[in-house]
Structure 1
Amino acid sequence: MTALCQYDSLMSYNERPGNAQAAGRRKEKRHQVEIQHYSPLVGMFRELTQALAAANGVAERLLAPEGQTLARWTFLDTLSEGPISVPAVARRLRQTRQSTQRIADILVEEGHLLRLPNPDHRRSPLYACTASGREVLERLPDAVAEWYSFLGTALSLDQIERLTELSRSLRLAAEEFTEARLSREAALTGN
Protein backbone atom coordinates (compact mmCIF):
# COMPACT_ATOMS: atom_id res chain seq x y z
CA MET A 1 0.00 0.00 0.00
CA THR A 2 1.30 3.46 -0.87
CA ALA A 3 0.24 6.57 0.99
CA LEU A 4 0.44 10.12 -0.29
CA CYS A 5 1.29 12.60 2.45
CA GLN A 6 2.25 16.22 2.86
CA TYR A 7 5.10 16.98 5.20
CA ASP A 8 7.40 19.66 6.51
CA SER A 9 9.37 17.90 9.23
CA LEU A 10 10.68 15.11 6.99
CA MET A 11 12.53 17.52 4.71
CA SER A 12 16.30 17.51 4.97
CA TYR A 13 17.90 20.49 6.65
CA ASN A 14 18.93 22.00 3.32
CA GLU A 15 15.37 21.77 1.96
CA ARG A 16 13.62 23.44 4.89
CA PRO A 17 12.03 26.82 4.29
CA GLY A 18 14.18 29.64 5.65
CA ASN A 19 17.47 27.84 5.13
CA ALA A 20 19.70 30.18 3.11
CA GLN A 21 21.27 27.31 1.16
CA ALA A 22 17.89 26.11 -0.02
CA ALA A 23 16.43 29.49 -1.01
CA GLY A 24 17.05 28.96 -4.72
CA ARG A 25 15.79 25.38 -4.70
CA ARG A 26 12.49 25.91 -2.88
CA LYS A 27 9.46 25.64 -5.09
CA GLU A 28 6.78 25.69 -2.41
CA LYS A 29 6.50 25.51 1.36
CA ARG A 30 4.83 22.10 1.52
CA HIS A 31 5.92 19.10 -0.48
CA GLN A 32 4.00 16.04 -1.50
CA VAL A 33 5.84 12.78 -1.41
CA GLU A 34 4.84 9.20 -1.96
CA ILE A 35 6.06 7.04 0.91
CA GLN A 36 5.34 3.34 0.97
CA HIS A 37 4.15 2.14 4.40
CA TYR A 38 4.21 5.69 5.80
CA SER A 39 1.37 5.24 8.32
CA PRO A 40 2.68 1.93 9.74
CA LEU A 41 6.16 3.47 10.13
CA VAL A 42 4.78 6.45 12.05
CA GLY A 43 2.88 4.05 14.31
CA MET A 44 5.98 1.89 14.78
CA PHE A 45 8.16 4.85 15.78
CA ARG A 46 5.46 6.16 18.11
CA GLU A 47 5.22 2.77 19.85
CA LEU A 48 9.01 2.37 20.02
CA THR A 49 9.46 5.83 21.50
CA GLN A 50 6.72 5.30 24.08
CA ALA A 51 7.91 1.78 24.95
CA LEU A 52 11.50 2.94 25.43
CA ALA A 53 10.41 5.91 27.53
CA ALA A 54 8.23 3.68 29.72
CA ALA A 55 10.92 1.00 30.13
CA ASN A 56 13.63 3.57 30.84
CA GLY A 57 11.35 5.31 33.34
CA VAL A 58 10.86 2.07 35.26
CA ALA A 59 14.61 1.40 35.27
CA GLU A 60 15.39 4.97 36.42
CA ARG A 61 12.94 4.68 39.34
CA LEU A 62 14.43 1.33 40.39
CA LEU A 63 18.02 2.58 40.12
CA ALA A 64 17.42 5.85 42.02
CA PRO A 65 17.64 4.26 45.52
CA GLU A 66 21.08 2.97 44.48
CA GLY A 67 22.11 6.55 43.66
CA GLN A 68 22.55 5.64 40.00
CA THR A 69 20.90 6.27 36.66
CA LEU A 70 20.45 4.20 33.54
CA ALA A 71 23.06 6.36 31.78
CA ARG A 72 25.64 5.71 34.51
CA TRP A 73 24.89 1.99 34.50
CA THR A 74 25.26 1.84 30.72
CA PHE A 75 28.57 3.72 30.93
CA LEU A 76 29.93 1.42 33.66
CA ASP A 77 28.79 -1.63 31.71
CA THR A 78 30.68 -0.40 28.64
CA LEU A 79 33.85 -0.28 30.76
CA SER A 80 33.39 -3.86 31.94
CA GLU A 81 35.41 -4.98 28.91
CA GLY A 82 38.40 -2.86 29.96
CA PRO A 83 39.66 0.74 29.84
CA ILE A 84 38.15 2.89 27.11
CA SER A 85 38.11 6.58 26.14
CA VAL A 86 35.06 8.82 26.36
CA PRO A 87 34.86 9.27 22.56
CA ALA A 88 34.88 5.47 22.15
CA VAL A 89 32.11 5.09 24.77
CA ALA A 90 30.10 7.86 23.08
CA ARG A 91 30.38 6.14 19.67
CA ARG A 92 29.42 2.78 21.12
CA LEU A 93 26.40 4.20 22.96
CA ARG A 94 25.50 6.58 20.11
CA GLN A 95 25.60 9.56 22.46
CA THR A 96 27.33 12.92 22.20
CA ARG A 97 30.86 13.10 23.51
CA GLN A 98 29.87 16.00 25.76
CA SER A 99 27.07 14.15 27.56
CA THR A 100 29.24 11.05 27.87
CA GLN A 101 32.07 13.16 29.32
CA ARG A 102 29.67 14.63 31.89
CA ILE A 103 28.74 11.12 33.06
CA ALA A 104 32.41 10.10 33.18
CA ASP A 105 33.23 13.15 35.32
CA ILE A 106 30.42 12.32 37.78
CA LEU A 107 31.55 8.70 38.05
CA VAL A 108 35.15 9.82 38.66
CA GLU A 109 33.97 12.24 41.40
CA GLU A 110 32.00 9.41 43.03
CA GLY A 111 35.07 7.17 42.98
CA HIS A 112 33.63 4.65 40.51
CA LEU A 113 36.08 5.42 37.68
CA LEU A 114 39.76 6.16 37.28
CA ARG A 115 41.34 8.31 34.57
CA LEU A 116 44.35 6.61 33.02
CA PRO A 117 46.88 7.87 30.47
CA ASN A 118 45.97 6.94 26.90
CA PRO A 119 49.07 5.85 24.96
CA ASP A 120 47.25 6.55 21.68
CA HIS A 121 45.95 10.03 22.50
CA ARG A 122 47.51 12.37 25.04
CA ARG A 123 44.39 14.56 25.47
CA SER A 124 41.80 11.75 25.65
CA PRO A 125 42.37 9.64 28.78
CA LEU A 126 41.16 6.11 29.21
CA TYR A 127 38.64 5.34 31.93
CA ALA A 128 38.53 2.16 34.01
CA CYS A 129 36.23 0.94 36.77
CA THR A 130 37.51 1.10 40.33
CA ALA A 131 36.63 -1.60 42.86
CA SER A 132 33.70 0.66 43.86
CA GLY A 133 32.57 0.91 40.23
CA ARG A 134 32.71 -2.86 39.80
CA GLU A 135 30.72 -3.27 43.03
CA VAL A 136 28.03 -0.88 41.73
CA LEU A 137 27.97 -2.71 38.39
CA GLU A 138 27.46 -6.04 40.19
CA ARG A 139 24.73 -4.60 42.44
CA LEU A 140 22.60 -2.81 39.81
CA PRO A 141 21.05 -5.91 38.18
CA ASP A 142 19.51 -6.72 41.59
CA ALA A 143 17.84 -3.29 41.58
CA VAL A 144 15.96 -4.10 38.38
CA ALA A 145 15.43 -7.83 39.02
CA GLU A 146 11.74 -7.35 39.82
CA TRP A 147 11.26 -5.47 36.51
CA TYR A 148 13.10 -8.15 34.54
CA SER A 149 11.06 -10.86 36.26
CA PHE A 150 7.83 -9.05 35.41
CA LEU A 151 8.91 -8.71 31.76
CA GLY A 152 9.72 -12.42 31.73
CA THR A 153 6.09 -13.16 32.53
CA ALA A 154 4.60 -10.40 30.35
CA LEU A 155 6.56 -11.47 27.26
CA SER A 156 7.35 -14.97 26.03
CA LEU A 157 10.92 -15.98 25.28
CA ASP A 158 9.96 -16.07 21.59
CA GLN A 159 8.65 -12.47 21.80
CA ILE A 160 11.82 -11.31 23.57
CA GLU A 161 14.03 -12.96 20.95
CA ARG A 162 11.91 -11.56 18.08
CA LEU A 163 11.95 -8.06 19.62
CA THR A 164 15.72 -8.28 19.98
CA GLU A 165 16.05 -9.38 16.34
CA LEU A 166 13.75 -6.62 15.07
CA SER A 167 15.52 -3.99 17.19
CA ARG A 168 18.87 -5.08 15.78
CA SER A 169 17.48 -4.90 12.22
CA LEU A 170 16.17 -1.38 12.86
CA ARG A 171 19.52 -0.28 14.34
CA LEU A 172 21.45 -1.71 11.38
CA ALA A 173 19.07 -0.04 8.91
CA ALA A 174 19.52 3.29 10.70
CA GLU A 175 23.30 2.89 10.60
CA GLU A 176 23.20 1.99 6.89
CA PHE A 177 20.96 4.98 6.11
CA THR A 178 23.20 7.35 8.09
CA GLU A 179 26.34 6.07 6.37
CA ALA A 180 24.77 6.38 2.91
CA ARG A 181 23.46 9.86 3.68
CA LEU A 182 26.83 11.04 4.99
CA SER A 183 28.51 9.63 1.88
CA ARG A 184 26.07 11.48 -0.39
CA GLU A 185 26.56 14.71 1.54
CA ALA A 186 30.34 14.33 1.37
CA ALA A 187 30.15 13.71 -2.38
CA LEU A 188 28.03 16.86 -2.84
CA THR A 189 30.35 19.04 -0.79
CA GLY A 190 33.56 17.45 -2.05
CA ASN A 191 34.69 16.37 1.41
Structure 2
Amino acid sequence: MRKTKRTPAGTLLSEMILDLFRLNNRLLSAADRLVAELGLTSARWQILGTIATARQPQPVAWLARDVGAHRQNVQRIVNELAEEGIVAFEPNPHHRRAALVVLTDKGLRAFEDAMRLQVPWVNNLADGLQVEDLDATQKVITEVLRKLEGDGE
Protein backbone atom coordinates (compact mmCIF):
# COMPACT_ATOMS: atom_id res chain seq x y z
CA MET A 1 0.00 0.00 0.00
CA ARG A 2 1.42 3.32 -1.05
CA LYS A 3 1.54 5.98 1.63
CA THR A 4 0.30 9.40 0.73
CA LYS A 5 1.52 12.54 2.37
CA ARG A 6 -0.36 15.71 3.13
CA THR A 7 0.92 18.99 1.82
CA PRO A 8 1.80 21.58 4.47
CA ALA A 9 -1.47 23.37 3.71
CA GLY A 10 -3.35 20.06 3.86
CA THR A 11 -1.84 19.32 7.27
CA LEU A 12 -2.79 22.73 8.66
CA LEU A 13 -6.28 22.53 7.18
CA SER A 14 -6.76 19.05 8.64
CA GLU A 15 -5.79 20.35 12.08
CA MET A 16 -8.12 23.33 11.63
CA ILE A 17 -10.99 21.02 10.63
CA LEU A 18 -10.56 19.03 13.84
CA ASP A 19 -10.57 22.29 15.81
CA LEU A 20 -13.68 23.40 13.92
CA PHE A 21 -15.45 20.16 14.86
CA ARG A 22 -14.65 20.82 18.52
CA LEU A 23 -15.61 24.48 18.17
CA ASN A 24 -18.92 23.55 16.54
CA ASN A 25 -19.81 21.23 19.41
CA ARG A 26 -18.89 23.88 21.99
CA LEU A 27 -20.83 26.56 20.11
CA LEU A 28 -23.93 24.39 19.93
CA SER A 29 -23.75 23.66 23.65
CA ALA A 30 -23.18 27.31 24.51
CA ALA A 31 -26.01 28.43 22.22
CA ASP A 32 -28.34 25.85 23.76
CA ARG A 33 -27.59 27.29 27.21
CA LEU A 34 -27.89 30.88 25.98
CA VAL A 35 -31.40 30.51 24.57
CA ALA A 36 -32.79 27.79 26.84
CA GLU A 37 -34.75 30.33 28.90
CA LEU A 38 -36.56 31.33 25.70
CA GLY A 39 -37.68 27.77 25.03
CA LEU A 40 -35.26 27.50 22.13
CA THR A 41 -32.35 25.27 21.23
CA SER A 42 -29.43 26.15 18.99
CA ALA A 43 -31.12 24.19 16.18
CA ARG A 44 -34.41 26.04 16.57
CA TRP A 45 -32.59 29.35 16.80
CA GLN A 46 -30.66 28.57 13.63
CA ILE A 47 -33.89 27.83 11.76
CA LEU A 48 -35.53 31.02 13.09
CA GLY A 49 -32.49 33.01 11.99
CA THR A 50 -32.57 31.49 8.54
CA ILE A 51 -36.25 32.35 8.18
CA ALA A 52 -35.79 35.85 9.60
CA THR A 53 -32.89 36.75 7.32
CA ALA A 54 -34.24 35.24 4.10
CA ARG A 55 -35.20 37.72 1.42
CA GLN A 56 -38.53 35.99 0.97
CA PRO A 57 -40.44 33.11 2.55
CA GLN A 58 -38.95 29.74 1.65
CA PRO A 59 -40.04 26.11 1.73
CA VAL A 60 -38.39 23.69 4.17
CA ALA A 61 -36.11 22.24 1.48
CA TRP A 62 -34.60 25.66 0.83
CA LEU A 63 -34.19 26.34 4.55
CA ALA A 64 -32.37 23.02 4.87
CA ARG A 65 -30.08 23.91 1.99
CA ASP A 66 -29.30 27.29 3.54
CA VAL A 67 -28.33 25.80 6.92
CA GLY A 68 -26.58 22.79 5.38
CA ALA A 69 -28.85 20.28 7.09
CA HIS A 70 -31.00 17.36 5.99
CA ARG A 71 -34.49 18.36 4.91
CA GLN A 72 -36.08 15.79 7.21
CA ASN A 73 -34.36 17.25 10.28
CA VAL A 74 -35.37 20.78 9.38
CA GLN A 75 -38.93 19.59 8.65
CA ARG A 76 -39.16 18.04 12.12
CA ILE A 77 -37.98 21.27 13.78
CA VAL A 78 -40.28 23.43 11.65
CA ASN A 79 -43.24 21.19 12.49
CA GLU A 80 -42.48 21.56 16.22
CA LEU A 81 -42.17 25.33 15.84
CA ALA A 82 -45.48 25.42 13.97
CA GLU A 83 -47.21 23.46 16.74
CA GLU A 84 -45.97 26.09 19.20
CA GLY A 85 -47.14 29.00 17.03
CA ILE A 86 -43.61 30.22 16.34
CA VAL A 87 -43.80 29.68 12.58
CA ALA A 88 -46.68 29.25 10.18
CA PHE A 89 -47.11 27.83 6.71
CA GLU A 90 -48.31 29.89 3.76
CA PRO A 91 -49.31 28.66 0.31
CA ASN A 92 -46.48 28.53 -2.18
CA PRO A 93 -47.59 29.93 -5.55
CA HIS A 94 -44.80 27.96 -7.26
CA HIS A 95 -45.33 24.57 -5.65
CA ARG A 96 -48.61 23.32 -4.28
CA ARG A 97 -47.11 20.81 -1.81
CA ALA A 98 -44.07 22.79 -0.59
CA ALA A 99 -45.57 25.42 1.70
CA LEU A 100 -43.59 28.52 2.59
CA VAL A 101 -42.41 28.88 6.20
CA VAL A 102 -42.85 32.27 7.86
CA LEU A 103 -42.28 33.61 11.35
CA THR A 104 -45.33 34.50 13.38
CA ASP A 105 -45.27 37.51 15.69
CA LYS A 106 -44.37 35.09 18.50
CA GLY A 107 -41.54 33.70 16.38
CA LEU A 108 -40.20 37.14 15.55
CA ARG A 109 -40.20 38.05 19.25
CA ALA A 110 -38.38 34.82 20.12
CA PHE A 111 -35.75 35.48 17.46
CA GLU A 112 -35.28 39.10 18.55
CA ASP A 113 -35.00 38.01 22.21
CA ALA A 114 -32.36 35.45 21.24
CA MET A 115 -30.39 38.06 19.32
CA ARG A 116 -30.50 40.42 22.32
CA LEU A 117 -28.87 37.65 24.37
CA GLN A 118 -26.38 36.91 21.59
CA VAL A 119 -24.91 40.42 21.30
CA PRO A 120 -23.14 40.64 24.69
CA TRP A 121 -22.22 36.94 24.47
CA VAL A 122 -20.53 37.25 21.06
CA ASN A 123 -18.91 40.57 21.99
CA ASN A 124 -17.38 38.86 25.02
CA LEU A 125 -16.10 36.00 22.84
CA ALA A 126 -14.60 38.51 20.41
CA ASP A 127 -12.86 40.46 23.17
CA GLY A 128 -9.11 40.45 22.52
CA LEU A 129 -9.40 39.02 19.00
CA GLN A 130 -8.12 41.10 16.12
CA VAL A 131 -10.57 42.08 13.40
CA GLU A 132 -7.94 41.31 10.75
CA ASP A 133 -7.48 37.77 12.11
CA LEU A 134 -11.21 37.19 12.20
CA ASP A 135 -11.54 38.48 8.65
CA ALA A 136 -8.77 36.16 7.41
CA THR A 137 -10.33 33.20 9.21
CA GLN A 138 -13.73 34.00 7.72
CA LYS A 139 -12.21 34.10 4.24
CA VAL A 140 -10.58 30.68 4.69
CA ILE A 141 -13.79 29.14 6.04
CA THR A 142 -15.81 30.66 3.20
CA GLU A 143 -13.40 29.32 0.56
CA VAL A 144 -13.35 25.80 2.02
CA LEU A 145 -17.15 25.86 2.25
CA ARG A 146 -17.38 27.03 -1.38
CA LYS A 147 -15.16 24.14 -2.47
CA LEU A 148 -17.19 21.60 -0.50
CA GLU A 149 -20.46 22.93 -1.89
CA GLY A 150 -18.98 22.71 -5.39
CA ASP A 151 -18.41 19.00 -4.79
CA GLY A 152 -22.12 18.59 -4.08
CA GLU A 153 -21.58 17.95 -0.36
TM-score, normalized by length of structure 2?
A: 0.87
Q: Which residue of 1 aligns with 2:101?
A: 127
Q: Distance in 2 between matches of 1:146 and 1:64?
A: 16
Aligned-partner residue type, residue 62 of structure 2: A
Q: Secondary structure at the match of 2:6?
A: strand
Q: CA deviation at 1:152?
A: 2.5
Match of 2:38 among 47, 58, 66: 66
Q: Tell me how far 1:40 sits from its aligned partner.
A: 2.5
- CA positional deviation for 1:31: 5.5
Matching residue of 2:119: 145
Distance of 1:91 and 1:46 partners within structure 2: 23
Q: 1:36-115 alignment to 2 at 5 Å?
A: 36-37=7-8, 38-80=10-52, 81=54, 82-115=56-89
Distance 1:39 1:55, change over 3 A: same
Matches of 2:92 and 2:51, distance apart in 1? 15
Q: Which residue is equivalent to 1:32?
A: 3
Cα RMSD over matched residues? 1.9
| Rg comparison, structure with higher value | 1
Instruction: Work out the percentage of aligned pairs sharing the same amino acid.
Output: 27
1:157 — aligned with what?
Answer: 131
SS in 2 for 1:114: strand
Q: Which residue type is aligned with residue 67 of structure 2?
A: L
Structure 1 residue 161, shift from structure 2 partner:
1.8
Bigger proportion of residues as helix: 2
Q: Deviation per CA, 1:71-111: give whole Å up to 9, x if none.
A: 11121122223311000111111110100101100110110
After the TM superposition, which of the residue ranges 152-161 and 91-100 deviates more from structure 2?
Answer: 152-161
Runs of at least 5 residues in structure 2 that lack an aligned partner in the other structure: none
Distance 2:94 2:127 in 1: 47
Q: Which runs of 4+ in 1 moved over 3 A?
A: none
Instruction: Give matches, 1:170-189, under 5 Å.
Output: 170-176=144-150, 178-179=151-152
Whole-Å separation in 1 of the counterparts to 2:41 and 2:141: 23
**More deviation, 74-83/114-123:** 74-83
Equivalent AA in structure 2 for residue 33 of structure 1? T
In 1, distance between residues paired with 2:134 and 2:70?
29
Higher normalized strand content (fraction of residues): 1
Q: Could you say what secondary structure the match of 1:32 adopts?
A: coil
Give the TM-score, by structure 1 length.
0.71
